[in-house]
Structure formats: structure tokens, C-alpha cells
Chains A and B, each alone.
Chain A
Amino acid sequence: MSMIHVRTTINGDATEFVCDPRETMLDVLRDRLALTGAKEGCGTGDCGACSITLDGQVVCSCLMLAAEAEGTEIRTVEGIAEGEQLHVLQRKFLEHAALQCGICTPGILVASKALLDENPDPTETEIRYWLAGNLCRCTGYDKIIRAVTDAAAEIRETQ
């Protein structure tokens, strides 16, 4: 089976990798590029733990072949903080204890950041619908919603 050479951009860095045609983007991120932030929860696009952005759009990396990444721009949870400086969403998740086991957190951070980039003042209903594809077994969601709401408020104040 012939391997495929892919050139892409991940978190702003030009990246090349070689993959099997059957490998998903999630497989390549975790197993070939050592970017283990994105998690495999369900592997069928239901849980959102593998969320990344592809050309600015939130997608499930488990439902994308790695070969499709050619020429695209990908962002993962690893690209959210600036060096040691946590993103306001990451800070607010810690302050509000919006995570327990943490498996869903990278996907929720990626999806929430995409929401706030597009809509800096979402209602609670908008946040809940936007994150409907990010399942969390621990928190009951309320703390997550509070953290995102609070992060949005701080982003609006500082801009």
C-alpha cells in the first residue's frame, strides 16, 4: 500500500508528514506528529473530543482523512496558548473548574475559541447549541458554559 506525502500548516508551522491512505487526521496528529491534545472519544464524530479547526472551521479530526490536509491550515489545542501564556479560555476553565477528567477539554477549548472568534458576545443558548457536539461526562456542562461566558466578557473588555 503506497504512502501519501502531505504538506500542511499546523498551528502556524509548515508541516510535512507521510501517512497511510486510511489514516485519519486524528491518527496522524497523535501518532506521527506527537500532538496528543486532540483525543479519540468515539471515533464517529459524535463526541467532539478530537475537534480541530480546518481552514478556520471546527471539524472532527476523526472524520477527516489525513490526506485531505494537503494545502490546508490546521489548528489544534496546542496552538491556543501563546508560549507559557494561557489563552483566556484556558484560564477561565481553570478558574471555574470547568473540567474534571479533562478528556473533552481540548475539543471544547478549540470549539469555544472558534465560537468566540466569530461571535464575541454569545448567549447561553448559543453557547449550548454551538457545543452540542462536545460531550462531557464529568461537569454537567454548567461550569463549561460559565467559563466560556466569562472568557467572552473578558475578551470584550480587553478589546
Chain B
Amino acid sequence: MEYFAPATVGEAVARAETEPGLVRFLAGGTDVLVQLRSGFVEPDLVVDIKRIPGMRAITAENGGWRIGAAVSGAELCRHSGVCADWPGVVEALELIGSTQIQGRATLVGNLCNASPAADSVPAMIAAQAMVAVAGPEGTRDVPVAGIPTGPGQTSLGSGEFITSVFLPARGDGGGDAYLRFIPRTEMDIAVVGCAVSLRVDGETVVDARICLGAVAPTALVVDDAARAIVGTRLDEAALSDLGAACSAACRPIDDKRGTVAFRTRVAGVLGRRAAAIAHDRARARTSE
């Protein structure tokens, strides 16, 4: 295995593109190192992107936030601007692992690891986040939902890597939230996760996007659940319809973390609860 720490995006792409063997890009390493040490993945080349300028930066852009691919959970949680605009995305990343893992884990790493149970991915999809992909053909912007294609699989081509995530301008009356179910309080992987991002006018929901994790091979955008609450004040009937739509959308597996029946039911419960939190946050932003 070769370790390469380029100083520019161009150097990283050029070296990765010409590597005939297996390439892994390294940011926080909390997944890559586990795979490497277990022998599950044996890369021929590891490209450490942390010395490339901008990879550790959070910058304001068009009213939103551009977050470098190597920004850790701990760094994101300390950023008051991102925390104010996108608390659901921040809480989703913050739920992953321990204090030690938070010191290194990144949004982009969580996305590229492509676990169906990744916590931050539903939150980024609900937020309509985009990623910047650098590669041999130059740079392209891709919706977060376009990256994972199945468990452990992504749409990234040879020599391509994600350089940043862009969270769009939150705007007035916007709020988001992420909840997951785990059988303990910390240090576990989601049995079900649910992110809700919505916008209110007064108390009425005018726009919503709901995304479930760990109930299908990739995160699931549930348009029926969003339709169930748009135009409502998130009353009991709307919440009930939202929950039913979330459960109906689930295509989960039975495994040691949860059964199909349990995941299906819990998806509805989390959908209702996350929507209520997002609604409260949205109204709080309106009244500011």
C-alpha cells in the first residue's frame, strides 16, 4: 500500500486516475481504517486529502454553507452558523459514534461509505444538499441522493472524489430534524433513521422533504409523506397520514438490529416525531 498526501485536487485526481490497483480516499478514516485493518478492503493506494487547501474549511456561499470533505463532526458542531441553519444535519452527524469518532468522522465519509444506515445521509438528502465531485473530467455538482447506489456502492467513477458538501440557503421559516432508533443511548448503528426538512408560512407547512434511512438499500425519499403534511398545520390527521406513508414506503430487511415489521412501524413513529421537531424549529425561525 502506498500513502499519498497531495497538496492539490489536481494532484489527487491525477495520481488516483493512473493507479491500476484499488484506491481509497482518506479523510477522517473512521471507516477506511477499520476496513483496512480487518483486511476487508486492501487498497493499493490511499490518498489522504487533508493537506489540500479548503478540505477543512466551512465557508458561507450564496446564503448557504460549503463544508470541506475533511471537516469533522466536532468541527461542524462548533460552527454556530451551520448549527443555526441546519440543526438536523448537524445532529445526524453528531449521533455517529463516540467523542473520539466525532474528532475525525466526516459527512462525506459517511456518504461514501454508502451504508444504508448512515445517519447523516437522510438528513443531507432532506436538506437537498449537493456535493462537488472532482475527477479526470473536471468538477461536477451532484445531489447527495445521486451518490450511494447500494450498500457499500457509489456512483463515483475512477479517480473521482468528493471535495465538499453544499447545504443551500435555509431561508425564512425553514426547519429540519433527524431522529434514529437504536436500542441503547450511544455508540450504535441506526435500526431506522428519519430526516425531515420543511418550510412554514405561519404554522402551515408549505414545503417538505422526508427521507428514511436503514429501511432500503439506499436512503429513501418519501414524497407521499411530504404530500401528507404540505398545506396542513401539522395537525394529528396530517401526522397520522405522514406516519402511514413512511411505513408504506419501507422496504427493509430482517437482521440482528431489527425485523421488517419493527422497522416498518418505527419508521412511521420517527417520521411523526421528526416532523414535529422540524415544525417547531421552523416556527422558531419565523418568529425571530
Chain A: minimal CB distance from B15 (Å): 14
Q: How far is the CA of A130 from the CA of B77 in the complex (A)?
A: 14
- Say yes or no for B62: interface residue by CB 8 A criterion: no
Beta-carbon contact of A65 and B37 below 8 Å:
no
User: B46 an interface residue at 8 Å Cβ cutoff?
Assistant: yes
CB-CB under 8 A from A115, the residues of chain B are 99
The segment out of A52-60, A94-102, A142-150 that lies at the interface is A52-60
Complex: A62 Cα to B32 Cα, angstroms: 12
* B46 surroundings in chain A (CB, below 8 A): 21, 65
Give the nearest-CB partner of B104 in chain A.
Answer: A59
Instruction: Check B3–A43 contact: CB distance below 8 A.
Output: no
The answer, yes or no, to whether B187 is at the interface (CB within 8 Å) is: yes
A63 touches B104 (CB 8 A): yes
Question: Quick one: CB contact mask for A54-94 with B, threshold 8 Å, 1 for yes?
Answer: 10011110111101101000000000000000000000000
Asked if A133 is at the interface of the complex by the 8 Å CB criterion, the answer is yes
Q: A37 interface residue, CB < 8 Å from B?
A: no
Interface centre among B30, B36, B98 (most CB of A within 10 A): B98
**Secondary structure call for the A interface:** mixed
Which residue from B2, B3, B5, B103 sits with its C-beta under 8 Å from A54?
A: B103
Measured CB to CB, the nearest residue on chain B to A60 is B100
Contact mask B97-129 → A, CB, 8 Å, 1/0? 111110110000000000000000000000000
B100 lies within 8 A of A51 (CB): yes
Residues of B within 8 A of A24 (CB): 33, 37
Bound state CA distance, A42 and B1, in angstroms?
23
Distance between Cα atoms of A134 and B98 in the complex (Å): 8
Instruction: Tell me if B187 and A46 are in contact (CB < 8 A).
Output: yes
A130 in contact with B99 (CB, 8 Å): yes
A132, B103: Cα distance in complex, Å: 14
Within 8 A of B (CB), among A95-140: 111, 114-115, 129-134
Contact B74 A45 (CB under 8 A): no
Are B100 and A59 touching (Cβ within 8 A)?
yes
Note all chain A residues with C-beta closer than 8 A to B29: 63-65, 68
Q: Are A70 and B186 in contact (CB under 8 A)?
A: no
Q: How far is the CA of A54 from the CA of B34 in the complex (A)?
A: 19
B247 within 8 A of A: no
A132 to chain B: closest residue by CB: B186
Complex Cα gap A131–B102 (Å)? 12
Known: A21-B3, A45-B30, A133-B97. A62 touches B37 (CB 8 A): yes
A18 at the interface (CB under 8 A from B): no
What's the least CB distance linking A141 to chain B, in Å?
13
Interface contact A57-B103, CB-CB below 8 Å: yes
In the complex, chain A residues whose CB is within 8 Å of the CB of B1: 1, 21-22
B160 on the A face (CB < 8 A): no
Interface members, chain B 62-99 (any A CB < 8 Å): 72, 74, 97-99
Option from B3, B30, B34 in Cβ contact (under 8 Å) with A67: B3
Instruction: Report the minimum CB–CB distance from A28 to chain B (whole Å).
Output: 13
B residues with a Cβ closer than 8 A to A are: 1-3, 5, 26, 29-30, 33-34, 36-38, 46, 48, 50, 72, 74, 97-101, 103-104, 185-187
Q: State the 3 A-B residue pairs at the shortest beta-carbon distance, nearest first.
A: A133-B98, A21-B3, A132-B186
